[in-house]
Amino acid sequence: METGAKVAHVETCTAATAALLKGQGADLLMVDYELDIKSLIEANEREHIFVTVVACGVNPDPRKAAFAINQGAKEFIPLPPDAELIAAVLAAVSDDARPLVTVDPSMQAVLKLADQVAASDASILITGESGVGKEVMARYLHEKSKRAQKPFISVNCAAIPDNLLESELFGHEKGAFTGAMARRIGKFEEADGGTLLLDEISEMDTRLQAKLLRALQERVIDRVGGARPVPVNIRVLATSNRNLVQAVKEGAFREDLLYRLNVINLALPPLRERPADILALSEHFAKKYSEANAIALKPISLEAKRRLQAHPWPGNVRELENAMHRAVLLSSGSEIDAEAIRLPDGQPLNPVAPIGSDYVGRISLAAESAARTFVGSTVAEVEQKLILDTLSHCFGNRTHAANILGISIRTLRNKLKEYGDAGVMVPAPQSGANAA
C-alpha cells in the first residue's frame, strides 16, 4: 500500500490464527463480515493474540455490519475498497488517542483531583467497574505529566499468562529459558522515562507482585536470567475493577504493594452515576463513527436521548460506545432514532424513561408533601427525612437526588453511610429506572 502497510492474505479464520501463531505478526486483521468474527477473536485470544479486527464486505448490509461490530470487530469497511476511506479507518482504529469526554459533576470532581496530581511522579491507582474508562484516565494523566513526551506503555496483566508476564514486564536474557533465542527488553525498560500502566493489577500472581514491589521501591528491575539489576526511570499507574482491600484480606494481593501503588486513588464512578456524561459521550461517539465510516453526522432524537439516559449501562462507556457505533450504521432516517440504538442481543433500549415533565412533577409533589411533615422535628431529623424521601422518589438514583438536594454526590454518600451504620433503611438503586 502507498502508506507503507504490508499486506498478507489467508482464506479462512483458522488459517489467520495459524499464521499469527507462526510469528507472522499483524497490527490489524481485515475480515469478511460473512465469516465468524467472534470465533476468530476467541481463537486468537486463547493463544494470547490480541489484534484489532476490522470487518469488510461487498454490497454492505447495515444490519450485518452492525452484527460484525457486535461480534467484536472494531470497525466496518465497505467493499470494493476506497483507498482514502480505508486509510482513514485504519488510522482511526490504530489511534490510541481517546479523549476524556465528561461534563457530569461526579466525574468532574475526579478530573479535578487528576489534574492536581498529574504533574507529580506519585503512583496512582485507578479503580472502577469494567468499561468505565480507567485506561483513558491513565492516558490523560500521562499527557498532563512532565513525562508526556516519553513513552506510555500499557500491560494488561489479566490477558497474559503468569509464566509469560514476568518476561513481558522485565524482559529476559538470551538462553534464560527454552525458546529465549535473544535478549528481550521488557515493558519496564520500554517505558523508561515515561509511564507504565499495569492494567488489572489485581490479576497478577503474588510471586510476581514481590518482584514488582522491589522494582517500585528501588527503581531497578531484574531481567529473567539476568546477572545484574537494570535501573529504570518510570512512573507507574495501575487499574483494578476489583476491591483490592478485600483481595489483601483474602491473601490474593500484597498489602505492601497496595500501599506502594495507592498513593492516590482515582475512583471512577460508573456511567449510570454520570447521567450528563451519557449524552455527551453518545454525541462524541456518533461523531467519531460517522466520520470513520464517511457517513453524514445525524442528530440523536429526543426519544433516543431519553432511552439512553434511562438505560443502566452495565458495560459502562465501552457498552455505550459499541451501541452508538451500531446506531450510526443502522440509522436510516434523518436522525439517530431510538430503534437504531440496540443492545448486544439486538433488542432496543427500554422505552420506559423516568425523566421529563411527569418525572419532575412527581419529584416536586414529593418535596411539597415532605415539607408539610417537618414541623416539630429536629434539624437532623428533617435533613434525614428530606434526603431519604428525595432518594426514594428518584428511584434510588444517587446522582439525581444529589442534584435535586443541591449537595455533592460525595456528601450524599457520606450521609447515606451514616444512616446505614445507624440501622436506617436506605433506598437501594432500582434497575432499569435510571438507577445509580
Fill in the DSSP letter of residue 348.
B
Calculate the CA dihedral of residues 388, 390, 391, 397 and round it to 10 degrees. Answer: -170
Domains, the chain, in order of start with CATH, read: 13-94 (3.40.50.2300), 105-267 (3.40.50.300), 272-340 (1.10.8.60), 357-421 (1.10.10)
pLDDT at 404: 65
CA–CA gap between residue 272 and residue 338 (Å, rounded): 19
**What band does 336 get if pLDDT is binned at 50, 70 and 90?**
very high
- Whether 373 has a pLDDT exceeding 50, the answer reads no
CB 250 within 8 A of CB 136: no
pLDDT digits (tens, 9 = 90+) for 201-249: 998 988 899 989 999 998 898 877 666 888 899 999 999 999 999 999 9
CB 230 within 8 A of CB 223: yes
Question: b/e per residue, 152-178, with b = 16+ CB within 10 A?
Answer: bbbbbbeebeeeebbbbbbbbeeebee
Whether pTM exceeds 0.85: no
pLDDT at 25: 59
Fill in the DSSP letter of residue 201.
G
CA–CA gap between residue 239 and residue 246 (Å, rounded): 15
- Whether 367 has a pLDDT exceeding 50, the answer reads no
- For residue 112, give every residue at least 6 positions away whose Cβ sits within 8 Å of its Cβ, in sequence order, or none: none
CA–CA gap between residue 247 and residue 156 (Å, rounded): 18
pLDDT digits (tens, 9 = 90+) for 158-197: 877 777 788 888 887 765 565 555 667 788 888 999 999 9
Cα 7 from chain centroid (whole Å): 31
Please tell me the least confidently modeled range out of 118-127, 284-293, 369-378: 369-378
CA–CA gap between residue 416 and residue 243 (Å, rounded): 20
Q: What is the side-by-side order of every strand in the sheet holding 152-156?
A: 152-156, 195-199, 235-240, 124-127, 264-267
CB 109 within 8 A of CB 87: no
Calculate the CA dihedral of residues 245, 248, 250, 254 and round it to 10 degrees. Answer: 160
Cα separations in angstroms, 293 against 54, 65, 126, 172, 322? 12, 11, 33, 42, 14
CA–CA gap between residue 234 and residue 423 (Å, rounded): 47
Nearest to 127 by CA among 142, 115, 114, 118: 114
CA–CA gap between residue 215 and residue 76 (Å, rounded): 42
CB 29 within 8 A of CB 52: yes
